[in-house]
């Protein structure tokens, strides 16, 4: 089944926000935007991705449904995706030009606007947890490289040998890109959520781009570019060509259009992805949720792996468009 769309109705659970009925919680996940079409992804791979996204969504639902925080849901969900070789994050991270793995992640709390991020790390199993440690245990927002690893390890993050990140598939991808002398983007993971306490949060984790060089850092660990959350507007996780997502501060721009321009979430996301980013030549996508549980999932690439669920029982999962 190429277009795997699952919509189930489970039960109804509402809260009143500003006089409107809104879902008590909502969660959205993505597994990256890019050349996601039957031409590039086999039927078996699509089935595996679909099963993993479904497992991940259930995990998020169970945390949010039992009153857990959006931050807890996001960390748990992204950890599962990082532990899977299917996505370009954690275990499945792509290789740099030199044949290394340099991972990055960020997390943001929409209630406090606290944020944490790590970049250029190659020995921490779950970068999203590292990002949360930076947010909660340090006075900083972004830590890089060996120093970041040392700090998060001293606060309990699991350290792994760099060989842990080796996968045959990503190695072959690098060999192809080395021949073509190109960099390739695909497969970053992200999650945004609204919890029953009315708080938004966002998280993003990546291996970056295959064949990247010279300590290149993309948008995923940059707060406001690849990740942003603000209870006054929305939570956003982005994926795609990082250089454009940074220059156009895509995640924050969507939030700003809502906050200052009063735009609904779908319009803000659509305008940034299909107008501003596209006109600039940037490719990518975003997942977003607002305080009312409204959801936007927009991309200007062939596809974006994505899924969402709300407390009113709606579940949607899409591998191919
Ligand atoms: N945005 C990531 C980067 O540029 C790549 C991706 O989303 O697939 O590092």
- In the reported structure, the alpha carbon of residue 104 is separated from the centroid of ligand 1 by a whole-number distance in angstroms of 10
CATH number of 24-310: 3.60.20.30
Model confidence at 192: pLDDT above 80 = yes
CB contact at 8 A, 317 and 4: yes
Q: In angstroms, rounded to a whole number, what is the distance separating the alpha carbons of residues 136 and 74?
A: 15
Where is pLDDT greater, at 102 or 185? 102
- Let me know if 72 is exposed, middle or buried by CB neighbors in 10 A (0-12, 13-18, 19+): middle
Q: Which value, in Å, is the radius of gyration of the alpha carbons in the chain?
A: 18
Q: Mind listing the pLDDT tens digit for each residue in 4-53? A: 444 333 333 444 444 445 569 999 999 999 888 887 788 999 999 999 99
What is the four-CA torsion angle of 296, 300, 306, 312, rounded to 10 degrees? Answer: 20
Instruction: Determine if ligand 1 sits within 6 Å of the CB of residue 209.
Output: yes
| Bridge partners, 296 (sequence order) | 288
Dihedral sign, Cα of residue 163, residue 168, residue 172, residue 174? negative
Mean pLDDT of 145-158: 98
Q: Mind listing the pLDDT tens digit for each residue in 196-208? A: 999 999 999 999 9
In ligand 1, which atom is closest to the CA atom of 88?
A: 8
Query: Closest residue (by CA) to atom 9 of ligand 1?
Result: 208
Instruction: Determine if ligand 1 sits within 6 Å of the CB of residue 301.
Output: no
Task: Output DSSP code: residue 159.
Answer: B
pLDDT score, position 316: 97
Marked catalytic residue, from 7, 42, 112, 188: 188
Instruction: Determine if ligand 1 sits within 6 Å of the CB of residue 292.
Output: no
- In the reported structure, the alpha carbon of residue 197 is separated from the centroid of ligand 1 by a whole-number distance in angstroms of 31
In ligand 1, which atom is closest to the CA atom of 217?
A: 9
Q: Mind listing the pLDDT tens digit for each residue in 54-67? A: 999 999 999 999 99
- In the reported structure, the alpha carbon of residue 255 is separated from the centroid of ligand 1 by a whole-number distance in angstroms of 20
Find tokens 């156009």 and name the residue: 248
- Let me know if 42 is exposed, middle or buried by CB neighbors in 10 A (0-12, 13-18, 19+): exposed
pLDDT score, position 185: 56
In ligand 1, which atom is closest to the CA atom of 239?
A: 7
Task: Output DSSP code: residue 256.
Answer: H
53, 199, 75: which is closest to 136 by C-alpha?
75
Q: Which of 240, 283, 300 to probe ligand 1 with, by most ligand atoms within 8 A of CB?
A: 240
Query: Closest residue (by CA) to atom 4 of ligand 1?
Result: 242
- Let me know if 83 is exposed, middle or buried by CB neighbors in 10 A (0-12, 13-18, 19+): middle
pLDDT score, position 187: 84
- In the reported structure, the alpha carbon of residue 246 is separated from the centroid of ligand 1 by a whole-number distance in angstroms of 10
DSSP per-residue codes, 271-299: IIIIIIIHHHT--EEEEEEETT--EEEEE
pTM of the model: 0.93
Instruction: Determine if ligand 1 sits within 6 Å of the CB of residue 305.
Output: no
- Mark whether 96 is an active-site residue: no
Model confidence at 182: pLDDT above 90 = no
Instruction: Determine if ligand 1 sits within 6 Å of the CB of residue 30.
Output: no
| Bridge partners, 20 (sequence order) | 17
8, 60, 103, 98: which is closest to 196 by C-alpha?
60
Instruction: Determine if ligand 1 sits within 6 Å of the CB of residue 96.
Output: no
Instruction: Determine if ligand 1 sits within 6 Å of the CB of residue 237.
Output: no
- In the reported structure, the alpha carbon of residue 182 is separated from the centroid of ligand 1 by a whole-number distance in angstroms of 14
Q: Mind listing the pLDDT tens digit for each residue in 100-146? A: 999 999 999 999 999 999 999 999 999 999 999 999 999 999 999 99
Q: Mind listing the pLDDT tens digit for each residue in 261-319? A: 999 999 999 999 999 999 999 999 999 999 999 999 999 999 999 999 999 999 999 99
pLDDT score, position 40: 79
Q: Which of 35, 88, 239 to probe ligand 1 with, by most ligand atoms within 8 A of CB?
A: 239
CB proximity list for 175: less than 8 A, separation 6 or greater? none
């Amino acid at each position: 089944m190429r277009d795997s769309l699952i919509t189930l109705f489970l039960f109804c659970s509402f809260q009143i926000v500003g006089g409107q009925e809104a879902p008590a919680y909502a969660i959205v996940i993505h597994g990256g935007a890019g050349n996601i079409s039957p031409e590039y992804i086999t039927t078996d791979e699509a089935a595996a991705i679909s099963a993993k996204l479904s497992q991940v969504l259930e995990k998020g639902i169970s945390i949010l449904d039992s009153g857990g925080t959006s931050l807890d849901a996001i960390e748990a969900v992204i950890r599962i995706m990082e532990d899977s070789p299917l996505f370009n994050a954690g275990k499945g991270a792509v290789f740099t030009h030199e044949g290394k793995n340099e991972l990055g992640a960020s997390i943001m709390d929409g209630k406090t606007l606290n944020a944490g991020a790590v970049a250029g790390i190659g020995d921490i199993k779950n970068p999203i947890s590292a990002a949360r440690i930076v947010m909660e245990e340090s006075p900083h927002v972004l830590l890089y490289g060996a120093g970041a690893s040392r700090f998060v390890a001293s606060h309990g993050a699991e350290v792994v040998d760099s060989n842990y990140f080796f996968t045959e598939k990503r190695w072959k991808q690098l060999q192809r890109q080395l021949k073509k002398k190109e960099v390739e983007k695909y497969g970053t993971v992200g999650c945004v959520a609204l919890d029953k306490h009315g708080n938004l949060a966002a998280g993003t984790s990546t291996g970056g781009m295959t064949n990247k060089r010279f300590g290149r850092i993309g948008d995923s660990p940059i707060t406001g570019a690849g990740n942003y959350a603000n209870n006054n507007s929305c939570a956003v996780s982005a994926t795609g060509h990082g250089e454009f997502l940074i220059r156009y501060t895509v995640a924050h721009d969507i939030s700003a259009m809502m906050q200052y321009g009063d735009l609904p979430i779908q319009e803000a996301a659509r305008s940034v992805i299909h107008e501003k980013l596209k006109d600039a030549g940037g490719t990518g996508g975003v997942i977003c949720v607002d305080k009312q549980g409204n959801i936007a999932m927009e991309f200007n690439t062939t596809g974006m792996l994505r899924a969402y669920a709300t407390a009113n029982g709606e579940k949607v999962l899409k591998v191919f468009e």
